[in-house]
Structure 1
Amino acid sequence: MVNSAITLLNNISARKKLEEDLSQAQNDLLSRQVEEMLKESEERYRRITDNMSDFVSEIDPRGRN
């Protein structure tokens, strides 16, 4: 009976470790995806502004920069 309990604990510990590893891998993947999306967005807006021939200024509702 003691061997069964030890085996069960080992299986649970191994499963918890695998679940933690999977969760970390998912978080890493999400972070890389978000980073790539941000990079693409920055490149897109950089291309737009680099190719603008007109002057652009940002002002608040009171007319200040």
Structure 2
Amino acid sequence: MKAYRFTKSGSGALVLPEHSYSFDYELEEDTLKVDFEKSNLRDSTFKVSIVDGVISLWVSESLKAIMNF
């Protein structure tokens, strides 16, 4: 299971069963930019929507393959 956790201050983490990867993020309108602290991880940009406090992320097909969605 994969989970993204976000703070209000612009940081967060991708949480996997055995690892957690910290990142900084920017959210502007419908675009979320994720900048991982570890340089060997791929920074990503997502299209997003927020409804009732729930964020939905849309990823491209090529990014799905890299991230194993």
Scaled by the length of structure 2, the TM-score of the pair is 0.16
Q: RCO greater where, 1 or 2, for CA within 8 Å and sep 6 or more?
A: 2
Which of 1 and 2 has greater Rg? 1
Which has a greater percent of strand?
2
